Each structure stands twice: as C-alpha cells, then as structure tokens.
Amino acid sequence: MPRAGFGLFGALLLLNLVLAALPIAFVVTSSVVLGKVPGAVEGGLDSTAWHELVPVFAAAAGFFVLQQVLAPAQLSLGELLARRIDGTVVDDVMRASMRSTGVGPMEDQAVLADLRYAARELEHGLQMWGPGSACAGTLALIARYGQLVGFAVIIGVVYSWWAAVALAVTVLWFRNVQRGGLRRYADARYRLMGRQNKVEYVRNLAVQSPAGKEIRVFGLATWMDGQLRAAYHDWFTPLWAARRRVYLWPGVWSTGFSLLACGAIFATIGATAIDALTLTEFVLIMQAALGAIRLSVFYPEADLETSIGTETYRAVRRFSDHIDRYAVLEPAGSGDAVPEPVSEIHFDDVSFRYPGQERPVLDGLDLRIPVGRCTAIVGLNGAGKTTLVKLLARLYEPDHGAVRLDGIDVRSFELARWRARLAVIFQDYLRYEFSAADNVAFGAVGSVDDREGVREAVAAMGLTEKLESLPRGLDTPLATHVSGGGELSGGQWQRLALARALFALRHGASVVVLDEPTASLDVRAEAQFFDQFAALTQGATTLLISHRFSTVRHADKIVVLHDGRVAEEGSHDELLARDGRYAQLFRLQADRFADNSDSDRDEVLL
C-alpha cells in the first residue's frame, strides 16, 4: 500500500475511518429523533421537546448527507490508489522478466504459468481486479468492519453484551463463507488456468486477422465454433462444480444458522422491549441489529477485489521468486573489454541439459571454431545445434566444461561486452513493429543514428528498392495496423534480419551466427543465399547452423553433431571421401531430388 504514496494512503485510511463512524452516528441520532417525536408532536412547535428535536434531526440529516458525499470520494481515491499500485506491480513484472540475463526462466513452463496468470489478471485488473484494487478493497473493509464494531458496541451498551457477541459472530460466520468461498474459487480458477488458456487461444485465433485466410479457405468456421464451445465447457464444468462446492451447502448451512441466531436475538429483544426499553433504546437496538445484519452480505467494493487481486499479486511474487532461483549470469572477471578473437572459439568438454530433463543435449562436446573462417554445424533435429548457439551467447551456462575464446573462459568477460561481439540471427528472429531502419539498427542499438550504415546493410541484402518504395522509406513502421505502416514478404523479412547482423558487424561484432534463418526457403534458394552471405562476411568468424547438408558445402569447415557430440568434421569433400555419417546423410537428402531434372540436381548438389 505505501507504493501509492503515504499522502494518498493516509487520506483514504482516514476517509474509511470516517465512513465507519458516520453510519453509527446516524443510527444514534436518528434513534434519538424517533424517540423524541411523540413528545414534540404532543407539545407542539413551541415546546421544549420540539426545540430539543430540531438540532438532533439536523445532526442526523448532516451525518446522512455527509455519508452520501464521502462515498464517491472513497470510490475515487480508491481508484487512484489502485491505479498507482497496479502501475508499480506491472513494473515489477517487467523488471522480473528482464532480471535474468539468460532465457532459462522464460522457457520454464512453471515460470510461464505464473507469468501468464499475472499478466492476464493485471490486464483485466487495470479495470477491476488487480493488486491495487485489492489494496483499495482492504481499506474499504475498515469502513465495513468499523461499522460492525460500532453496532455491536451499541447493542452491548444499551441492551446485552451476549446479544452483541452473538450478532457479531453470526455476521462474521456468514462473511467467512463469503470470503472463504471467494478465496477457494480464486484457487480453482488458478488450477484451471491451462483450460482457460485454451479458450483464449481458440477465441483469439477465431477473431484475429492472421488466421482469417485459412479459416475461410478450409471452411474451419464451424469447426472452430465447436472447438470454442468444447473448450468453454471443459473449463467451466469443473469451475461450476468448484463454485457449487464452495458456495451451495456452506451457504445453506450458514444461512440456516444465521436465521436461527437472528430470530433468537430479535425474539429476545421483542419479549423484553415493553418492560425494559424506552422507545429510543428500542429503535437504537433495532437499527444497530439490522445494520449489522446488512454487513453479512457480499461487499462489491472489496470482496472480489481482495480475493482475485491478492491471488494475482501472489502470482507476481511466485514469478519473481522463480526468476531469482535461476543463476544470475554475471561476469566473474574484471569487466575488461573482450579482446579481438585471434585463434579459435573452443567448446571445451561442454555438457548441458535443460532444467527438468534427464537426457543431456550436449554431452562432453569438444568443438573448435576457427577465427576468421566459416564453420557450418549440421545435424538432425535435436542434435544440439541451437543449444550450442544459446551457450555461445550465454543465454544458458554449461553444466560442465567451458566455452573459451583463445583459451579464456568467456564467463570471465562482462556479459554485455561479450554479447556485443556476437551477431546472432535465430530461426525465430523478431519482426519489430518499428521502422525498417530500427529493425536494422537494433543489431547495434548504441549506433541507431548511423543511417549510412543502415543503408549499406540494406543495400547489401538487396532491399533498397523495396524499402524506399514504402510510404515513409526507411522510417516506415513495419506493421499494417499502424498509420502509414507497411509490410514485407517472408523472404524480405529474412533479408532485413540478416541486414541486422551486417549492421552489428559494422559496429564491433566479430562473430556472426546464423541459426537456420532461411529454413523456410527451398534448398536452391538457401544455397544461393549462403553463398551470398559468406561473401559479405568474408574475413569474419561465421557460424552457420543448418539441418540441410547440401547448402553448407562451401563452408571452410563442416561439423556434424550427433547425440550432443562431434561425430565428424572437415571440408565437404573430405567428409564425402570419408564416406561416414555426413556422406550417408548427404546422399539421403540428395535422393529427395531424384525426380528433378539432371540440370536441377546439378545446380542443387554440386
């Protein structure tokens, strides 16, 4: 709560204390008014009873009006407090997401489950049920429970402390059913989050534009309608059951108990009212009892907000704690500049397995990547090619062994300086909805003002004409939903991502890593691209990752990974002459083109 500022917090706390006192003051003064009415009517306008009635009536009216005036203020200040707190919690989520310099937490399903829950509820919470609303709702409970205490004190002082305690226990019993049910209901929603995710995926798929073409071409509308209905039922059926379990019978029993308790209290009051109570006392007790009973109901300003908002904040804390349990990738050395590579990058006896998996992806890998030359890494899916890139970029750390640059463990370098030496383009590279120039310049974000460098990288990838034809040239946002935006084809996006790597090379990167960035191209187009890109990066240390053997034949060195180890290495001709695993897999892939013409086969394979 202090995140909202002590001034706002103090003002809202004071306001809720006042709102706790005003109904009690109104009940007391209005009861006095009703007790004085018979005497004032009998005595007339000039009587002492009438003159005593008027100021009490004015006080009661003032308390009532003030309560009506302050209630909207409570709502407004509570909303302001909620927005301030929700803003800081959103910042918490963003900071936690960025705190780990590796990607391990963001690939852990337990971490992502809490992140999805927190993000979704925060998004909705900005309207009603976020952690900030839970804080405002908690303060609003002060007004409600303050009134309960006041009403109980009135009954205890005027009539009987046993009756006061019995009434308070009855109200709190019923409130416990309400609050406990909401907490258990929030827990049930969290446990069923996976089913809710499916509902949201199918619903979003049906209403967003990317799927529109296939839904219509393949006639999927009716099928998706059925899937959405089934997903909703799969989610809601156990949720309905949970709601019945936490509300139905507990509600029946608590209602029965409350009716009996209230009936006994009112019967006792009624039986003793004529002999023991004045009119003022009788009205005061009845108003206090009815006011207390009204406090046993659902509180729209607090109950859902505190139950769901608190669970949302717990998810945020769990997510943050998950992140903190991962090793923080910090430099072990002095943070000096990373030296220019001279000889080799060496994966020295490197072993690694992903969290939660028993089988290692890399198992005692011994791989040397010569500096200034092009090395291709090939292998079947699951051989460890992409994992190798993640370890090189220190997105993960090896479980055993080390990645060394000219004999120095890269963990001794400052992380940001080491990564500045790398220009990595992954297969799932990002398509930023920023300008075309930014999409290139993000390769060296500290040099985004180098327009000439951006133009040279764009020209090297053959994109100048296309980008200049966009509405605002290089400054065109690459998103059609943005005013004045444009779009590129899949192949053009790939070339733009590769221009990003060239821009990084221009600004200090010395190792280029391409992790199957052209996997969607056919073999011939990919082979032509690699030849072109190899010429553009000549003299740099280049690492090409591919599962296609024929497209990397011109690399200086080809390494075949199998079961997390180097199975073979050498040039294309050397590996074919060895007639080992590389040659076997190369011929196996070549047979896929047996139906092509001889000229096509020669063009692809030679």
The tens digit of pLDDT for each residue in 497-514 reads: 889 999 998 898 889 998
Minimum mean pLDDT range among 16-25, 57-66, 300-309: 300-309
Mean pLDDT of 340-366: 89
Looking at 208-327, list the stretches that DSSP marks H as alpha helix, in order from N- to C-terminal side.
212-217, 221-276, 279-294, 303-325
SS3 491: helix
Token reading at 22: 């005003």
In 3D, which of 290, 275, 284, 270 has the Cα closest to residue 34? 284
Query: CB–CB of 369/556 below 8 Å?
Result: no
Q: Output the 3-class SS for 519-537.
A: CCCCHHHHHHHHHHHHHHC
Q: Evaluate the CA torsion angle 63, 66, 72, 73 in order and state its sign.
A: negative
550 has pLDDT over 60:
yes
SS3 459: helix
Query: Taking the model in full, what pTM does it have?
Result: 0.71
Burial of residue 577 (CB within 10 Å: 0-12, 13-18, 19+) is exposed
In 3D, which of 537, 533, 506 has the Cα closest to residue 444? 506
Helices and strands: H and E segment counts in the chain: 20, 10
Q: Evaluate the CA torsion angle 94, 100, 103, 109 in order and state its sign.
A: negative
pLDDT at 605: 35
Residue type, 595: D
Query: CB–CB of 283/35 below 8 Å?
Result: yes
pLDDT at 310: 84
What stretch of H or E contains 11?
Answer: helix 6-43
pLDDT at 19: 95
Q: How far, in Å, are 16, 32, 64, 171, 594 from residue 19 at the CA level?
A: 5, 20, 11, 19, 85
Q: What is the pLDDT of residues 553-598, one digit of tens each?
A: 778 899 999 888 999 999 988 988 998 888 888 888 766 655 554 4
Distance separating alpha carbons of residues 13 and 226, to the nearest angstrom: 50
- Examine domains 7-324 and 425-509 and report if their fold is the same: no
Q: What is the pLDDT of residues 26-36, one digit of tens each?
A: 999 999 999 88
How many Cβ atoms are within 10 Å of 354's Cβ, its own excluded?
14
State the residue for tokens 């073979």: 568
Q: What is the pLDDT of residues 235-287, one digit of tens each?
A: 999 999 988 888 888 878 878 887 887 888 788 877 777 677 888 888 899 99
Token reading at 307: 């139950």
pLDDT at 401: 93
Domain boundaries, the chain: 7-324, 345-421+513-519+543-606, 425-509
Q: Name the band, by pLDDT with cuts 50, 70 and 90, for residue 115.
A: confident
pLDDT at 602: 40
The C-alpha angle 369, 391, 381, rounded to 5 degrees, equals 85
In 3D, which of 254, 261, 238, 262 has the Cα closest to residue 298? 254
In 3D, which of 177, 146, 150 has the Cα closest to residue 257? 177
Mean pLDDT of 303-330: 79
Which residues lie across from 546 on neighbouring strands?
378
Mean pLDDT of 434-441: 93
User: If you average pLDDT over every residue of the chain, what do you get?
Assistant: 85
Query: CB–CB of 510/542 below 8 Å?
Result: no
Q: How far, in Å, are 146, 306, 518, 589 from residue 568 at the CA level?
A: 78, 61, 24, 18
pLDDT at 600: 44
- Fold (CATH) for 345-421+513-519+543-606: Rossmann fold (3.40.50)
Q: What percent of the chain has pLDDT over 90?
A: 34
Q: Name the band, by pLDDT with cuts 50, 70 and 90, for residue 312.
A: confident
pLDDT at 258: 78
Compare 453 and 277 and report the one with higher pLDDT: 453
Q: List % helix, strand, coil for the chain (3-state, nearest 5).
A: 65, 10, 25
Mean pLDDT of 187-197: 83
549 has pLDDT over 80:
no
Distance separating alpha carbons of residues 187 and 202, to the nearest angstrom: 24
Distance separating alpha carbons of residues 506 and 454, to the nearest angstrom: 10
516 has pLDDT over 70:
yes
Query: CB–CB of 79/136 below 8 Å?
Result: yes
Superfamily of domain 7-324: ABC transporter type 1, transmembrane domain (1.20.1560.10)
In CATH, the architecture of 425-509 is 3-Layer(aba) Sandwich (3.40)
Q: Name the band, by pLDDT with cuts 50, 70 and 90, for residue 13.
A: very high
Q: At what angle do helices 161-191 and 303-325 cross, to 10 degrees?
A: 50
405-425 burial: b if 16+ Cβ within 10 Å, else e: beeeebbbbbbeebbbbbbbb
Compare 208 and 319 and report the one with higher pLDDT: 319
How many Cβ atoms are within 10 Å of 249's Cβ, its own excluded?
10
pLDDT at 268: 81
pLDDT at 336: 61
